[in-house]
Amino acid sequence: MLTVGFIGLGVMGGPMALNILKGGHPLTVYDLSPEAMAKLSQAGARTATRPRDVGEASDVVVTMLPEPAHVEQVVLGPGGIAEGLRPGGVVIDMSTIDPQTSQRIGAELRRRGMHMVDSPVGKTSEHAVTGTLTLMVGGEPEIIERVKPVLDCIGNETFYCGGPGMGHAIKITNNLLATTIMAASTEALAIGIKSGLTLDLMLKVMRTTMAWNNQLAVAMPKKAFIGDDTPGFMVRLAAKDVRLAVQLAQALGFEARVGRAAQETLEQAIAAGFGERDTAALMRILEDKLGIEVRSGSAAAAIE
């Protein structure tokens, strides 16, 4: 049984940490939110006062943080994980960050005799609760195998993506596509409603054409189509993911123009005060601007 640390107990990280605890692994946690730590403490986890203490208590430390700079600070900064983790210890970063930062952190850990696995996650907070996330894993195969008991507590679909940083590369690639599809779907439906079409009709037609996608089939009926923008996948996090993908494209020598348009849309939503809301807020913004309502009591029936 591995002793595990977990840093970053947000909407996704909190349930993931609980599932590690339910898997029988002794767990030490840290978060800036006392409430988040209290919830894990009540479930049986130990709490720490700084990342270094998590490292000292653990064979494996999982990080689930918002930005690349946060991961670098928590792992390598003063009082960070690397100051406490023993040689041979492993950091599993499950955040959504760029592969360059991931590779840089991993190289420094290896220089210190430690290891890093990148394993960002796919699906939703509901899947985080049930332990059925998709895991996109990069790193050294023997190290990944060593931490597999921890990964198995979190996800039920695991994809080996290659060496260090490749899990993060596929994650931001995936999120770029998912978010641009969501933004485009939102705009298309708003045009249709403003033109006098109904949501049900558009969904029935689109289901038979190449316009059909999982945003229309799964995500939007649960949130946007019922006017619910309570936080799930927050606008500010979507904007960060798309920004990282656009920057990666630039580093690779080309401009991701469609991605940049989605990034601008999300940044406008943040400027309007919707950064902490679900990405379904993009629909709400257009509804308010155009004086329409994209709703359907039978949206689910339309896609069955």
pLDDT by residue (tens digit) across 213-224?
999 999 999 999
Q: What is the mean pLDDT of residues 215-239?
A: 95
Confidence (pLDDT) at 295? 87
Contacts of 232 (CB under 8 A, 6+ apart): 11, 124, 125, 223, 278, 279, 280
Which residues make beta-bridge pairs with 62? Answer: 6, 92
Q: Token pair of 12, please?
A: 């996704």
**What backbone phi and psi angles, to 5 degrees, belong to 256?**
-85, 85
Q: What is the mean pLDDT of residues 211-236?
A: 95
Active site residue 39: no
Shared domain check, 237 and 131: no
**What backbone phi and psi angles, to 5 degrees, belong to 194?**
-65, -30
Residue at token pair 């933004």:
183
Shared domain check, 116 and 59: yes
Which residues make beta-bridge pairs with 61? Answer: 5, 91
Angle at 144 between CA 242 and CA 118, to 5 degrees: 20
* DSSP annotation of 194: H
Shared domain check, 240 and 122: no
How many whole angstroms from its chain centre is CA 19? 17
95 sits in the region (left: phi over 0; alpha: psi -120 to 50; else beta) called beta
Confidence (pLDDT) at 159? 98
Residues 143 and 90 sit within 8 Å (Cβ to Cβ): yes
Task: Report the chain's mean pLDDT, rounded to a whole number.
Answer: 95
Shared domain check, 263 and 193: yes
Shared domain check, 144 and 26: yes
Give the residue from 141, 163, 185 where a domain finishes.
163
pTM, two decimal places:
0.91
Give the residue from 163, 180, 206 where a domain finishes.
163
Residue at token pair 């996650």:
121
Looking at the 3D structure of the chain, how many domains does it have? 2
Shared domain check, 234 and 155: no
Residue 301 has pLDDT above 70, yes or no: no
Amino acid code (one letter) for 224: A
Shared domain check, 158 and 21: yes
pLDDT tens, 49-94? 999 999 999 999 999 999 999 999 999 999 999 999 999 999 999 9
Query: In this structure, are strands 115-118 and 90-93 parallel, antiparallel, or unpaired?
Result: parallel
Residue 302 has pLDDT above 70, yes or no: no
Contacts of 70 (CB under 8 A, 6+ apart): 95
Residue 304 has pLDDT above 90, yes or no: no
Q: Is 130 exposed, middle or buried (0-12, 13-18, 19+ CB in 10 A)?
A: exposed
Confidence (pLDDT) at 17? 98
Distance CA 160, CA 135 (A): 8
Confidence (pLDDT) at 9? 98
Shared domain check, 123 and 199: no
Shared domain check, 152 and 175: no
Q: What is the mean pLDDT of residues 147-176?
A: 98
Q: Token pair of 203, please?
A: 């969904």
Cβ atoms within 10 Å, residue 42: 8
Q: Which percentage of the chain shows pLDDT scores above 70?
A: 97
Residue 297 confidence class, pLDDT cut points 50, 70, 90: low
Q: Annotated catalytic residue: which of 22, 123, 148, 171?
A: 171
Look up the domain containing 275 and give its range: 170-302
Shared domain check, 188 and 144: no
Shared domain check, 221 and 103: no
Shared domain check, 35 and 158: yes
Residues 164 and 106 sit within 8 Å (Cβ to Cβ): yes
Contacts of 288 (CB under 8 A, 6+ apart): none
Give the residue from 144, 163, 182 where a domain finishes.
163
